[in-house]
Structure 1
């Protein structure tokens, strides 16, 4: 694919100029604005398979896939057919449907830790509701989260670390009063001693610990097995709920989610609650939170914890999600997807090594990440040592060569079943060219 040599003299630039007059920053979600990497955002005109085309007709190999949901690629025939049929039946009813029950049954079948669940419309809504339910079920107020993990933009979760383990967080967004986050404790990811000290001080008043088991919002950072094991042990010991945020990893890294990956190393491992989104909606606005029957029965109308949503369980979104889950449940799907992702990362590593550029990468299933560092980081502070300028050079070098990765070094990437060996080879070759520039 020939480079787009004049991206700023384009319809993309004209659209961005129009958008900024009406939409804050010109976008409806901040990372889309290219603020971290500079340049002009690409306005997508259409997408199919592993590709999308921008407003100038330029084709890109897409490695964000709507930030994870498009695990089958764009426009999969079975999913399109299911959505078209659902649309003809009706957009929204504000009443229950059989398809909601079918989707719940499918998720419960595939994720053993979930006995009951509630469908909602976004990952933020699911995370916010899970926190409320954890507090209601335990009668406690405090929550533990980890620096670098993102659980949506609910006020209580937009928080950075306080000055010590006896103090709580400070808001990271204007508009969030300090008293809203006074019960949120932020710890360092993969730091067992700090985790143990936090529970020693606050364990009896902690409602839940919420964690991305594979963090996708500081690029791609795994919770170590010993760390995750200790999270489970301490939550059990102190009566707090372990909440897995699998909005990104759910059905993306494995059919049973990241929790099934940890269960291979930690016998009997299960979280108490799980937050899900993205893949379960197949690209439509749909998410869920679920857990043990005892906890979930605390939700209204059965219990005292209130949660509601006009579009929850939307009939078009559930049709899309069900069709997606049916396809990814076919034998060999994840083996093939995982091998593709591994080939991409190993190919990029080989080209970086050849050019003498510091590089490391990791993947699980169809989710991956890489850093311009000598070794994989284990926490947010280490991720922050990445050279932004060098990443920006890599990003724009790939973009100019028709490869679209996340426009920020803190975001994970996503492989789809639609990506071919030729797509991977094209990506690796393009990266090789850019690594040569970085090595000078």
Structure 2
């Protein structure tokens, strides 16, 4: 199936001011956006330009209000504009925006991360999820002295050359670059493996004995749509990697502090060796981190020989927002509320699609979920690619026209925030019912 932009008939939905802004942006920014995920390439049309966000809502240049289920692609678990976070930022900016020197707040947020994330004793802060994954992969190779990495097909770990690879047809196929500028040499030691397949993992270890430094994965896939691990899958990976002397790395950039305070590793009770964190850890500002047991992290410079540095790492504004967000999550424990709201949304979307006789499946873990236009469960990237992308695009625009802002790709997850209410969820369900009626005509 082609993953090119679907040709869809969009509902009447005019955004003249955003259109003018998009034309201006295209003159000075490639594609008019600073991340391809914002370009609406998978659904057609042009993105609205946002002027404000508050609680569960976004507002665009043309005066529209949207219920937001992107949450800046995950970080805004408390909703937009949380007063405590805004106050922390205002206080931080009064004392300076960047020092290039240590601050006490860096220590405080590191201590909190080490307290709540099971795998972490020491943590190094960086400025993006890409940096966190890249640095953790380098650390895995440096700590083990091994060259190869296993990457799960459909799991995204940022635009790192060694991890930006597309799928081969066999479990042990070495990756080929899927972006110009990434050389074959850059991915020569990256081995691709289907998500949720233990047998494929066993085949890879048999083919490359003693060579694999780390197995990298999203414990809950969020970049092929929301795909949870099958029962026993993570436990089996933990057993295999321990036996083989390979580091198990969880990319919890999305799931960290989202599906539980301690992330997916707390939720499933499976502790990896290395963890990459991002999104929520910055409270809406650019921040990320990677961490592990002290014996692994002590390979990192200046203690050990594995080099990694960042001028703006541990930025005082980002740590202020992140520390405040993590403390609120710890002290308020919004996770039962998030579970109830998300379950209500899951059931409502399922009911709306079923009533319209639309082939679908809703997959959810905690406050992350995806409505796949796919007849039956989605276990891996091949399953996800069989979704009806044209139907998704039509549904997306019908929901936009009704004031509901969804991820603009079938292969992304929705995020519910603690700022959403039952009334917001019910509004979304009614919008979905109307959208399916419009689609079925």
Establish whether TM, by shorter chain, passes 0.5. Answer: yes
Deviations 1:257-313 (A, max 9, x none): 0011111xxxxx310000000001110000000001111000000000000000000
Query: Within 2, Cα distance between the matches of 1:24 and 1:382?
Result: 31
Compute the displacement of 1:320 (Å).
0.2
Q: Aligned residue for 2:7?
A: none
Q: How does 1:147-162 map to 2 (within 5 A)?
A: 147-162=153-168
Is 1:273 aligned with 2:299?
no
Compute the displacement of 1:351 (Å).
1.3
Query: Within 2, Cα distance between the matches of 1:287 and 1:307?
Result: 14
Compute the displacement of 1:437 (Å).
2.9
Query: Within 1, Cα distance between the matches of 2:217 and 2:318?
Result: 26
Structure 1 residues 57, 230: CA separation in 2 closer, same or farther (over 3 Å shift)?
A: same
Q: Which deviates more, 132-141 or 350-359?
A: 350-359
Compute the displacement of 1:68 (Å).
0.3
Q: Aligned residue for 2:185?
A: 179
Paired residues, number: 432
* Structure 1 residue corresponding to 2:201, chosen from 195, 200, 204: 195
Compute the displacement of 1:331 (Å).
4.6
Any gaps of 5 or more consecutive residues in structure 1? 264-268
- Give the RMSD, CA atoms, in angstroms: 1.3
Structure 1 residues 71, 165: CA separation in 2 closer, same or farther (over 3 Å shift)?
A: closer
Compute the displacement of 1:36 (Å).
0.8
Q: Aligned residue for 1:46?
A: 52
Structure 1 residues 420, 163: CA separation in 2 closer, same or farther (over 3 Å shift)?
A: closer
Runs of 4+ in 1 over 4 A off after TM superposition: none
Is 1:229 aligned with 2:235?
yes
Deviations 1:334-384 (A, max 9, x none): 001111111111111111122212222122222111211232200000000
Q: How does 1:287-306 map to 2 (within 5 A)?
A: 287-306=288-307
Query: Within 1, Cα distance between the matches of 2:12 and 2:394?
Result: 16
Q: How does 1:7-46 map to 2 (within 5 A)?
A: 7-8=13-14, 10-46=16-52
Q: Aligned residue for 1:352?
A: 353
Q: Aligned residue for 1:266?
A: none
Query: Within 2, Cα distance between the matches of 1:339 and 1:111?
Result: 23
Query: Within 1, Cα distance between the matches of 2:429 and 2:204?
Result: 44
Deviations 1:150-169 (A, max 9, x none): 00001000112335445411
SS of 1:408's equivalent in the other structure is coil
Q: Aligned residue for 2:3?
A: none
Structure 1 residues 134, 348: CA separation in 2 closer, same or farther (over 3 Å shift)?
A: same
Compute the displacement of 1:6 (Å).
5.3
Query: Within 2, Cα distance between the matches of 1:34 and 1:56?
Result: 18
Is 1:283 aligned with 2:284?
yes
Q: Aligned residue for 2:261?
A: 255
Query: Within 2, Cα distance between the matches of 1:116 and 1:152?
Result: 22
Contact 1:367 1:413 in 2 (8 A): yes
Contact 1:8 1:39 in 2 (8 A): no
Query: Within 2, Cα distance between the matches of 1:415 and 1:166?
Result: 37
Deviations 1:85-138 (A, max 9, x none): 001111000000000000000010001210101000000000000000000000
Structure 1 residues 28, 259: CA separation in 2 closer, same or farther (over 3 Å shift)?
A: same
